[in-house]
Amino acid sequence: MFIVLVGAFALTRGDYTLPIEEVLRTLSGHGTLITYDVVVNNRLPRILTGVGVGMAFGMSGAIFQRLARNPLVSPDLIGINAGAALAAVLIITVIGSGWIPLGALVGSLVSALCVYLLAYRNGVSGNRLVLVGVGVTAIVGSLTAYLLTLADIYTAKSASMWLAGSLAGRSWTHVVLIGITLFAGVPAAIVVERQLRVLELGDDLARALGARVETVRGVLIALGVGLAAMATATAGPIGFVALVAPQLTRRLVADRAARLPTSGAIGALLVVASDLIARTVVAPTVLPVGVVTAFLGAPYLLFLIGRRVA
């Protein structure tokens, strides 16, 4: 319900403000050419892409945090987003901008595979996955920074915009791309959710209950990586959504079985609301949505770290 309300409000706001009655008239096929272009060709695909990307990040973060049993784990911190960023910057500086989504997807998957293989010692424990992920993120981040130093100022600016994470210019093609991801990922997450609850009991108890621990963990990691990789390929590495959404869900939803879809819904709400702020607060300047999510999410990360240290 909140997503619908925020999305409807976002349709009315921008450099061409429209009353909600005009938006509804346009969506029902009775608008003008101008309102059709603003609402249907511009704002609606941007908002729907934000909903899909937020859902994918939220569910991916929930999977990783529950697998590692660590609230600080997210695709941002274990190398997935860093791999996408390195591949995207490599493409921008060497080839151009046409293959960024595919390159980001491949970069995410390769980085995740490296983390998994480096963390594997007769299985993959949550803490080792986090430590290896942080190390890989640092290495990949330094390579990305090095590539940026080699680029000319215009190419470096273009790469920096993508690295910030943005929904600007997203079209119906992006809606279809992230929609297909969720069409496959959401049912898969619902199917494996029970196995995730079993793994949360600990490996020994899970084995005693008959779970094939490493197989299930591998499937869950692949699902989390796939969701985060496609979200990053669609809108860039929008930070902190995958970290914050599962934590808000833990505080709002007592039923563990409902936490995966709820994390997705809260992630969608965070991205759409942050993009609305990015488009309107300092208008006519439009900020990348990743700047807003970082501004809102960084204090929450410090809060979580402070609680664990205390």
What pTM value is reported for the model?
A: 0.87
The answer to whether the CB of 105 falls within 8 A of the CB of 181 is no
pLDDT band per the 50, 70, 90 thresholds, residue 308:
low
Q: Supply the range of the domain harboring residue 27.
A: 1-309
Who contacts 204 (Cβ-Cβ below 8 Å, separation ≥6)?
none
Q: Residue 298's domain is classified under what CATH number? A: 1.10.3470.10
Most distant CA pair in the chain: distance in Å?
65
The model's pLDDT over 28-37, given as tens digits with 9 standing for 90+, comes to: 888 788 888 8
Query: pLDDT of 55-76, one tens digit each?
Result: 999 999 888 888 877 777 788 7
Give the chain's domain count: 1
CA distances for 106 relative to 112, 213, 274, angstroms:
10, 27, 27
Q: Which two tokens stand for residue 123?
A: 């299985």
pLDDT tens digits along 156-195: 777 777 788 888 888 898 899 889 988 988 888 888 888 7
pLDDT of residue 97: 64
Whole-number pLDDT of residue 307: 66
Q: What is the DSSP letter of 166?
A: -
The pLDDT, as a whole number, for residue 185 is: 83
pLDDT value of position 51: 93
pLDDT-wise least confident of 38-52, 118-132, 249-263? 118-132
- Which segments of 151-258 does DSSP mark as H helices, in order? 153-164, 172-199, 203-208, 213-235, 241-252
Question: 37 versus 126: which is more confidently predicted?
Answer: 37
Using CA atoms, how far residue 278 sits from 227, 281, 286, 296, in Å, is: 24, 6, 6, 12
Section 113-140 average pLDDT: 80
